[in-house]
Amino acid sequence: MSQAIHYIKQDHINQNGTALHASIPTEAVTIRVGGALDKVTLLSSLATACDFPSYFSHNWDSAWDCLTDSEARHLTLDLTTIKKINTEDFNVFKNIIEEAYQTFGKPQLWIIVPPE
């Protein structure tokens, strides 16, 4: 498992949204997405969650730049209500998180997945 990305099963989260077995930092910023996960949704939601500056260009390079300049050190993304995931876009997003973490030691991402 990567140090940057952690997967937590939904059944390990209590009703208050607190992890029962894994430790999601209380200061983690939640990336809120609707029923579909794609590039547009991820970039918009990430920009909102991390309060990206107005010059954010809504592309992957700009997301990396703004994310590494952001104060956000911990992020959560809940996949349990997502109906459709563009896996290519999701993989690019995870690669950005990995690269940012390797370069700057932040952010870490906790992904909440449905129970099996």
- Domain of 18, CATH number, reads 3.30.370.10
Asked if 82 contacts 35 with a C-beta cutoff of 8 angstroms, the reply is yes
Closest to 52 (Cα-Cα) out of 63, 40, 41: 63
Please report the pLDDT score of residue 9 as a whole number: 87
Digitized pLDDT (tens) for each residue of the chain, 116 residues in all:
469 999 998 775 555 555 554 578 989 999 999 899 999 999 999 999 999 999 999 999 999 999 999 999 999 999 999 999 999 999 999 999 999 999 999 999 999 998 87
**How many folded domains does the chain comprise?**
1
Domain that includes residue 54, residue range: 5-113
**For the residues of 38-78, what is the DSSP string, one character each?**
SHHHHHHHHHHHTT--TT--SSHHHHHHHHHHSS--EEEEE
Predicted TM-score of the model (pTM): 0.86
Please report the pLDDT score of residue 23 as a whole number: 76
Please report the pLDDT score of residue 17 as a whole number: 55
